[in-house]
Amino acid sequence: MKIALACDHGAFEHKEAIKLHLLKKGHQVQDFGTHSEESMDYPDTVYPASCSVADTSNDFGIVLCGTGIGASIVANKVKGVRCALVYDPKVAEITRMHNDTNVLALGGRLTSVAVALEIVDKWLGSSFSQEERHKNRIDKICRIEETENDHE
């Protein structure tokens, strides 16, 4: 799999651990930064990473900031991205199965590295259920995106 990674300074350590973890598992990783713990603004890295998922340059994205909230908001501004902020491995599985999420958001200050790696593995190891009720809901989300874009 090709995975986009992005973070701000508040989750740099987590991003680096996740990158190493993914590479050891044989995934390709595109690192959008940040590349240090120097203060920076998460939209500068999360937005291009999310765009790379929307345009299918990457299969999935993992975005992080201190809480994961800002990163998830930015990712969900990109048409075609379904990002979930996750703090628990079970929720990671459900969000793939029910919502077919393609971007995962994590909070570096609120989740340990060990738990973050568990979440990543559970999320990447799960797939969309293909159940009709879930497909219908995703179709409705896509129609909302189209309607919102019509307002521009």
CATH topology of domain 2-150: Ribose 5-phosphate Isomerase B; Chain: A, (3.40.1400)
Percent of the chain with pLDDT over 90: 87
* Domain chopping of the chain, boundaries: 2-150
Mean predicted confidence (pLDDT) in 27-51: 97
Residue 151, pLDDT above cutoff 60: no
Residue 42, pLDDT above cutoff 60: yes
What residues act catalytically? 65, 98
Q: What is the pLDDT of residues 85-134, one digit of tens each?
A: 999 999 999 999 999 999 999 999 999 999 999 999 999 999 998 889 89
Identify the bridge partners of residue 80 per DSSP, sorted by sequence position: none
Residue 150, pLDDT above cutoff 80: no
pTM: 0.95
DSSP string, the chain: -EEEEEE-GGGHHHHHHHHHHHHHTT-EEEE----SSS---THHHHHHHHHHHHTTSSSEEEEEESSSHHHHHHHTTSTT--EEE-SSHHHHHHHHHHH--SEEEEETTTS-HHHHHHHHHHHHT------HHHHHHHHHHHHHHHHHHHT-
pLDDT at position 147 is 86
Residue 152, pLDDT above cutoff 60: no
